[in-house]
């Protein structure tokens, strides 16, 4: 859940902090898809599975975390 929340604010925050850089549409889609996938595994119930799922999904998309 935290990953999804961060991803929702990251593009605006990243642009402000990164000198106006924007992310590609494919990266934005991967972040969204992987956040949705990872959100199925709450840290309270599944421990680190949420993080592992997000990382694995991003790797499948050829994207850094």
Spatial distance between the Cα atoms of 58 and 46, rounded to a whole number of angstroms: 19
Identify whether 6 is part of a domain.
yes
Q: Give me the mean pLDDT over the 21-41 stretch.
A: 96
Q: How many domains does the chain have?
A: 1
**Structure-token pair, residue 64:** 């850094």
Identify whether 47 is part of a domain.
yes
Identify whether 29 is part of a domain.
yes
| pLDDT category of residue 65 using cuts at 50, 70 and 90 | confident
For residue 18, the SS3 value is coil
Residue 5 pLDDT exceeds 50: no
Domain carrying residue 35: 2-60
The model scores a pTM over 0.75: no
Identify whether 65 is part of a domain.
no
Identify whether 41 is part of a domain.
yes
Q: Give me the mean pLDDT over the 37-49 stretch.
A: 91
């Amino acid at each position: 859940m935290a990953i999804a929340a961060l991803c929702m604010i990251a593009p605006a925050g990243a642009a402000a902090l990164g000198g106006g850089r924007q992310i590609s549409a494919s990266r934005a889609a991967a972040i969204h898809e992987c956040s949705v996938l990872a959100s199925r595994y709450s840290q309270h119930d599944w421990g680190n599975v949420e993080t592992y799922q997000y990382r694995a999904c991003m790797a499948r998309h050829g994207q850094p975390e």
